Amino acid sequence: MCGRYSLSSTKLTLKQRFELSRQGEFDPRFNIAPTQAAAVIRQAEDGTRMLKAMRWGLVPQWAKDASSAAKLINARADSLADKPSFRGALRSQRCLVPMDGWFEWKREGKSKRPYYIHAADLRPFAVAGLWEQWLNPAHELVETFTVITVDAAPVLAGIHDRMPAVLQPESWSTWLDPRPLAPADLLPLLEPCDAAWPAFHEVGPEVGTVSIDRPGLILPFGGQGSLF
């Protein structure tokens, strides 16, 4: 599962890392939560990549209302080709969800302890996502997205049994291709990360509060030390 994540890299870093041609204005975020607007990367038909805001929580085009959004923040890779909520978007509406890291809660008895998981080299990375357009009752076009998850890599399985599907850079172009592609061409790209890729540490409980969004949330528990 992925229920919270951060994206605070500079515009220049994101432009260079993901070879962006267009990007809107985005504030640094350290506690992005479901149903909030967040930045995703899509590819235009001319092949250029753009960073734009969408709401986290997929609302399928055919939905009668937006009640599904909170339930569809994640999509399991092993059911994408079968579930009506995802199979259309898998075919031709794929996106990258840029992150600096995500939060996961490790259950210990009756309590849960939050951890921050990120790339060991501290570079922003791309998670596989799907996007949709939905016309609300006011006839406004609402664009939403979901984060695809896979079984956790063994190095992370002690924290949680699921993780976001982190895509290798060489897979970005295929995943972003707006042309219709078959599941057989796409699903092999969705694998747990390599054991050497992640680093992680425990963080403070404040990340569980949606209204708190500050740099200290990603620091080791107690505020001791720095990631940078």
Parallel/antiparallel/unpaired status of strands 49-56 and 20-23: parallel
Residue 56 corresponds to which tokens in the numbers above? 């986290």
Type of residue numbered 151: D
Catalytic residue among 2, 132, 143, 193: 2
Residue 162 corresponds to which tokens in the numbers above? 């699921």
**Catalytic-residue membership of 2:** yes
Q: Strand order of the sheet with strand 101-108?
A: 29-32, 4-7, 101-108, 111-119, 198-202
Contact between residue 39 and residue 100 where contact means Cβ atoms under 8 Å apart: no
Three-state DSSP class for residue 13: helix
Q: DSSP of 113-124, one letter per residue? A: EEEEEEETT---
**Catalytic-residue membership of 19:** no
Catalytic residue among 95, 104, 132, 143: 104
Give catalytic residue positions. 2, 104
